[in-house]
Amino acid sequence: MRALIIHGALMMMAGTASAAEAEREAFGTLDDGRAVEAVVLSNGNGIEARIITLGATLQSLKAPDADGEFDDIVLGYDDAASYLANPQYFGATIGRYANRIAEGRFELDGETYDLIQNEGTNTLHGGTDGFDKRLWTIADVEDGRRRSSVTMTYESPAGEMGFPGTLTATVTYTLTESNELRIEHEATTDAPTIVNLTNHSFFNLSGHEAMESVLDQELTLVASRYTPVNENLIPTGEVVQVEGTPFDFTQAMRIGDRIRAGANEQLRIARGYDHNFVLDGRSGRLRLAARVEDPVSGRVLEVLSDQPAIQFYSGNFLDGTVVGKADTIYRQGDGLCLEPQTYPNSPNEPDFPSARLDPGETYRNVMVVRMSAEERGGE
């Protein structure tokens, strides 16, 4: 493995910064006059994460390359209105149910619940007005020697988007001096319901300023199985081995190497990768789920998760019509998503992990985004 390099510039930053910091700032207003706030978390190594209250969204994440140069490695918008107008879910907290529910319907304790459908007949990412469109409340902001954090909350009333039970959701972003951004989701309910929360950041390790295709970056997924989908991108119910298929990322593989393999029906259906990978290891325990390496910038991103699965999405539906931060047009392959969660459509598949949450229980989803830089090949 190439040696991790810690540059003199980073060491100087760490020496001059006395502690991790968290600062609140304005991020505009909604049409109804409500203010959108941002909290900027920073550490002594110069890494900076901005989280906005609209959608409890990771709006920017600045990380160094192999030369110690910082750039924003997530896609997004510079204003609140764009997050509401464009349903791309950039960096948002997704709920009540991340991913897809077939026919926008599920049964719980003998009662059928009809949800708001927003992707054909599917309910995707909670419906037309999911958690990504809600204004969250800042419950706590902390900073100190080793970490800074912000906690945001949202109460989803019973019946919102068709889901049963009043759900109280909490997300805490914590940036550490070890260059880890920890994202902890929790939820409680007053009646039986289903829940599946995640973060929907689009990463591009080349950096927002350079913006090279993620298809040239290398991906490892600690997942030996995945769930194939039908023409509506709903899992068929099968869980199959990735070995011998374009879905085998158990060893580092350039993302674009097999994405155009037209003989593979799954890639044709999803226009690339938009699939649920079953993570190896025990669910409920934090372990490495994914690793992305950019051979040009030297940036490395690792995702750790305690969930049973991770959705890998290669940005297939970014079509050049979306203008993001710094007036940048986002095109296919400009970002990739790694979304730890339970399986899509679990409420309708009895053999999939359960998404049920009952009163007195606490739902948890912990993911860690670990940032580093390595020497580039040939240097």
Residue from 338, 325, 337, 333 nearest 86 by CA: 325
Catalytic residue among 37, 218, 339, 349: 339
**Phi, psi (rounded to 5 degrees) for 19:** -165, 165
**Phi, psi (rounded to 5 degrees) for 354:** -75, 140
Q: Is residue 339 among the annotated active site residues?
A: yes
Whole-angstrom Cα Rg for the chain? 20
Residue 96 buriedness (CB in 10 A; 0-12 / 13-18 / 19+): buried
Q: How many CA atoms lie within 13 A of 242 on its CB side?
A: 21
Q: DSSP of 90-153, one letter per residue? A: TTPEE-SB-SEEGGGEEEETTEEEEPPP-BTTBEETTSTT-GGGSB-EEEEEEE-SSEEEEEEE
Q: Is residue 200 among the annotated active site residues?
A: yes
Q: Which amino acid is at 80?
A: A
Catalytic residue among 125, 185, 200, 275: 200
Residue 360: C-alpha distances to residues 32, 99, 188, 189, 365 (Å): 35, 25, 7, 8, 17
| DSSP 8-state secondary structure symbol assigned to residue 160 | G
State the residue for tokens 């298809």. Answer: 215
| DSSP 8-state secondary structure symbol assigned to residue 115 | P
Q: DSSP of 46-63, one letter per residue? A: S-EEEEETBTTEEEEEEE
Active-site positions? 200, 339
